[in-house]
Amino acid sequence: MHYGFIKAAAASPMLKVADCKYNCDNIIKTMDYAYKRGVNILVFPELNITGYTCDDLFAQKLLLDQARISLLELADKTSGIDMLSIVGLPLEVDGFLYNAAAVLCNGEILGIVPKTYIPNYNEFYEARRFSEAPKNTIYLDLEGKQIPFGTKLIFQNLQMEEFTLAVEICEDLFVPVSPSSEHAMNGAMIIANLSASNEILGKSEYRKTLVKAQSGKCFSAYIYSNSSYSESTTDIVFSGHKMIAENGVILAEEPPFGKE
């Protein structure tokens, strides 16, 4: 962070569906690459620790356990690294399975944000597996540490008070009133969106319009990271379309099927 500027990045490294070890290794490599280039905020796609297209494998305890182990490993790997990284994973809490995003920095899990809106139409059937986010913030015990879990979390850098970040996940952007609208009204200046938005004719331009409009309405920066084409293993195709916008203007974009 220099002169009030923050260097942000969206990344969608290659993954193997349901292979947490492979995915975790690639996430660590990407974190290292970004940190060496001065990145302050690094946003990964939705469910990128396991892959989004695991379908009924999300009901397997082995996969959920491996995802949690990978999360703890990723948090440990950020020790001594002053960079905020946001990763996606399935997380079971009190018997409910959530599509969640974990915010990591300097060896700590700062908080975990569950997805608010669960799409269950057309090619999406997430409600078969995932629950909607709980209304109130609770605390999870992970390795003896109390981690806040909820949709109302806003993360602030005490060395730079304007650095206030909130998280939403994919469909949360596509609904009439996004969680990020409330986040912005409560002081969030940066919104991170972990997404697994598939490709159909015209959808990339629609996504771009949404990101521009939401960053403009919220008077904020908006970092949008989408699943790469390595997720294209079932009946839908992904492209790795990534964008960073600020106050209604696209500052950077990786077009569909561009670099990872």
Q: Does residue 252 have a pLDDT over 80?
A: yes
Task: Name the residue ranges covered by the structural domains of the chain.
Answer: 8-254
pLDDT, mean of residues 48-74:
97
Residue 158's pLDDT band (cuts 50, 70, 90): confident
- pLDDT score at 1: 55
- pLDDT score at 160: 86
Residue 259's pLDDT band (cuts 50, 70, 90): low
C-alpha span between 100 and 97 (Å, rounded) = 9
Q: Which strands, in side-by-side order, build the sheet including 221-226? A: 155-157, 160-169, 190-195, 221-226, 242-246, 249-254
pLDDT, mean of residues 240-247:
97
- pLDDT for 123-132, tens place per residue? 888 999 999 9
Burial class (CB in 10 A: 0-12, 13-18, 19+), 108: middle
**Residue positions annotated with a catalytic role:** 46, 115, 170
- pLDDT for 66-95, tens place per residue? 999 999 999 999 999 999 999 999 999 999
AA identity, residue 76? D
Q: Please tell me the least confidently modeled range out of 105-114, 120-129, 184-193.
A: 120-129
- Cα 164 to chain centroid distance, Å, stands at 16
3-state secondary structure at position 36: helix
- pLDDT for 194-203, tens place per residue? 999 999 989 9
Q: Does residue 150 have a pLDDT over 70?
A: yes
- pLDDT for 233-242, tens place per residue? 778 899 999 9
- pLDDT score at 235: 82
**What mean pLDDT is reported for the chain?**
95
Q: Is 185 left (phi over 0), alpha (psi -120 to 50) or beta?
A: alpha
C-alpha span between 194 and 210 (Å, rounded) = 14
- pLDDT score at 120: 93
- pLDDT score at 48: 98
- Closest by CA position to 190, among listed 158, 154, 166, 225: 166
Class (C level, CATH) for 8-254: alpha beta
Using a pLDDT cut of 90, give the percent of the chain over it.
88
- Closest by CA position to 157, among listed 224, 110, 219: 110
